[in-house]
Amino acid sequence: MAWSLRRRLIVSLAPLGILLLVLGVIGLAVLFYMGGRINAILKENYVSVQAMFLMNEHLERMDSSFQFALAGREADARAQFEANWAGFGQQFRVEENNITILPIEQELVDRLRVLKDDYRARGERFYARPAGSPERTTDYFGTPNDPGLLGRFLEIKTVSGEILRINQENMFQARDEARATARTALLGLGLALAILVVFLGGVTWYLLRTILAPIRATTLAAQDIGAGRLDREVPVFAGDELGRLAETFNAMTRQLRGYRETNLARLLRAQRTAQATIDSFPDPILVVDPNGRVELANPAARTLFGVTLPKDGQPGPVWHPPEPIRQPIHDALNVQRDHLTESFDQAVSFRLGDEDRVYLPQVRPIRDPDGDTLGAAVVLNDVTRFRLLDQFKSDLVATVSHELKTPLTSVRLAVHVLLEEAVGPLTPKQTELLVDARDNAERLLRLIEHLLALARLQRPHGGTSFRPEDPVALLRRAADGARARAEDKHVELTVNADGAVPPVAADADRLTLALSNLIDNAVTYTPAGGRVTLSAAAGPDGRVTLSVADTGVGIPAEHLPHVFDKFFRVPGRSTEGGTGLGLAIVKEVVEAHRGEVTCASAPGQGTVFRITLPASGGGGRPDEH
């Protein structure tokens, strides 16, 4: 069973602590012992040394007091003797109580006591003799058989000197002992310290190996895993906490690996599904990234544009889209603008094999949730068949209309002749039926005229010629055609021609047809007493606006957006007998002139139609339509 990290730390560090404790205790003991020794030396020997020293002083003084007395200075001498005797005795007592070096010091003190008592007795005897007596000299200097005061003085000095010496010697010995002890203690401590350092080194190495190495390995593995290398395993060194950490780490990495694999699989599946989905569409679909590289394209798009898909996540080459969709793709990628088309005018054609195909391009930017551009999706709705059908329908309508027109004209003529009673009188009932027939023939003829006009306008490459035309002249020409009807209806028809208006590039016949339709409507939808005003004006940008304004019934706002649609008629006004094609023709004509037509109206207040055309030579050639 491997040791836990905690246990290992405790087991490694505990001996260190114990060793430190032991060292501390030894150090303290040594210090305490040395202190005690120094104290003892001071206490035991130093006191004796000092006592002997002072005793000698007093002895010297007492000796000199005898010499003073011999010299005749009795009074001073006696006082000096007494005074120093007291001090001497005191120092002796100190020594007596401080005998440390047995038995020799005891013997010396005993001798000193005897000598001291003798010296005292001799001193008393000396001073008891009368001053100046010769016995005093003998007392002091002694005789060959008696040492005298001086002899005793010298003896005391010798003994006290001996006591001083042995005490001093003892001090030196104690000092040497203390020094030796200190040296031993120092050696011991140094050794212990060396052991401690070695042990510490061992413990450090052990901890580094068993704790830091796994931590470092785990850190390195974590860095690798952080950098995405999920196949990295952390080595498991032991079953301790670090080992468990490494195992947990490996478990986490396995989990992450699992997640990545499932996510990758999901992503791949999603991508395959997306590809399969767009592949199943017959229309060309492709997705470009913000750099213009093709990211996704279905087989139809690949065949049409000859693009190849990037392999294995490598970026494909930049795609240069064909001219008609280049700008829309650029706009989608750079300004996130949609390009959505719905009418045949916006169709583009590409050559596929040996046939031309017609498409309605739809280009949409792809944004992320933050609104940044991720790319653009391009869908080309294949409308080739519808275009052919439309063409077929237009041709059919044109043919049928053309074929109907001639017989209908003769029917109308016949009805007119009958109504003029040129071939015989009519009964009122017959007249009524014939009027009805004439009106229907007129209406049918107008419808046919309109259908033919539209077919002509919509026919591709119809060969239209534009020439500079005076707008006012065009207005007048159109007005003249409607004047009789206006007068019949009592509607005032005027042409405003104030100021100079530049010429416009126009196909005079077609523009007159468009203006005639507008004027016709204006007269139709204006009750008697109303007014229709035609005018032309030049704008600051050189464009020319032709307007047809009436004071008629107006158009409700909700119908305004539809008035230019084919066959649209404002509901509830079917009595007027229109076809719903007049304004569609106007729009076709105006757009062929690269112009615009707008309608402003309010019910009961009249209507204004405005045709804005580029000035002749000013704004590019109108479309060949």
List contacts with ligand ADP (CB under 6 A): 517, 521-522, 525, 550, 552-555, 563, 568-570, 573, 578-584, 607
Rounded Cα gap, residues 223 and 217, in angstroms:
10
Give min distance, CB of 607 to ligand ADP, in A.
4
Give min distance, CB of 531 to ligand ADP, in A.
12
Rounded Cα gap, residues 33 and 38, in angstroms:
9
The smaller minimum CB distance to ligand ADP, of residues 45 and 521, is found at 521
Smallest CA-to-CA distance from 486 within 441, 447, 533, 419 is with 533
Rounded Cα gap, residues 553 and 607, in angstroms:
8
10 Å CB burial of residue 561 (0-12, 13-18, 19+) is exposed
Structure tokens at 55: 């005793």
The smaller minimum CB distance to ligand ADP, of residues 98 and 607, is found at 607
Cα 39 off chain centre by: 77
Give min distance, CB of 400 to ligand ADP, in A.
19
DSSP E strands in 265-354: the ranges are 285-288, 294-297, 339-340, 348-352
Give min distance, CB of 535 to ligand ADP, in A.
15
Structure tokens at 93: 């007592």
Give min distance, CB of 516 to ligand ADP, in A.
11
The smaller minimum CB distance to ligand ADP, of residues 138 and 496, is found at 496
Residue 613 main-chain phi, psi, to 5 deg: -125, 150
The smaller minimum CB distance to ligand ADP, of residues 331 and 565, is found at 565
The smaller minimum CB distance to ligand ADP, of residues 225 and 514, is found at 514
Which residue number is nearest to ligand ADP in terms of Cβ?
578
Cα 389 off chain centre by: 56
Give min distance, CB of 485 to ligand ADP, in A.
13
Residue the block writes with tokens 């195992």 = 247
Structure tokens at 391: 């063409």
Structure tokens at 566: 């084919």
Give min distance, CB of 306 to ligand ADP, in A.
46
The smaller minimum CB distance to ligand ADP, of residues 360 and 583, is found at 583
Half-sphere exposure of 183 (CA within 13 A, CB side): 6
Cα 607 off chain centre by: 59
The residues pairing with 378 across neighbouring beta strands, listed in sequence order, are: 286, 363
The smaller minimum CB distance to ligand ADP, of residues 295 and 588, is found at 588
Smallest CA-to-CA distance from 131 within 69, 202, 221 is with 69
SS3 category, 444: helix
DSSP E strands in 221-354: the ranges are 285-288, 294-297, 339-340, 348-352
Alpha helices in 289-383 (DSSP H): 299-305, 323-335
Characterize the bridge pairing of strands 492-496 and 531-538: parallel
The smaller minimum CB distance to ligand ADP, of residues 587 and 625, is found at 587
Structure tokens at 346: 């916006």
The smaller minimum CB distance to ligand ADP, of residues 246 and 585, is found at 585
Give min distance, CB of 387 to ligand ADP, in A.
24
Give min distance, CB of 579 to ligand ADP, in A.
4
Asked if residues 543 and 612 have their Cβ atoms less than 8 Å apart, the reply is: yes
Give min distance, CB of 523 to ligand ADP, in A.
9
Asked if residues 267 and 288 have their Cβ atoms less than 8 Å apart, the reply is: no
Rounded Cα gap, residues 182 and 159, in angstroms:
34
Give min distance, CB of 525 to ligand ADP, in A.
3
CA angle 383, 389, 392 (to 5 degrees): 145
The smaller minimum CB distance to ligand ADP, of residues 361 and 530, is found at 530
Rounded Cα gap, residues 321 and 294, in angstroms:
10
Structure tokens at 10: 């405790």
The smaller minimum CB distance to ligand ADP, of residues 333 and 584, is found at 584
Residue 104 main-chain phi, psi, to 5 deg: -65, -40
Residue 71: count of CB within 10 angstroms of its CB: 10
Give min distance, CB of 397 to ligand ADP, in A.
16
The smaller minimum CB distance to ligand ADP, of residues 55 and 532, is found at 532
The smaller minimum CB distance to ligand ADP, of residues 507 and 588, is found at 588
The smaller minimum CB distance to ligand ADP, of residues 70 and 523, is found at 523
Give min distance, CB of 578 to ligand ADP, in A.
2
Half-sphere exposure of 134 (CA within 13 A, CB side): 1
Rounded Cα gap, residues 512 and 467, in angstroms:
13
The smaller minimum CB distance to ligand ADP, of residues 289 and 550, is found at 550
Q: What is the DSSP string of 339-372?
A: EE--SGGG-EEEEETTEEEEEEEEEEEEE-TTS-
Give min distance, CB of 320 to ligand ADP, in A.
44
Give min distance, CB of 439 to ligand ADP, in A.
15
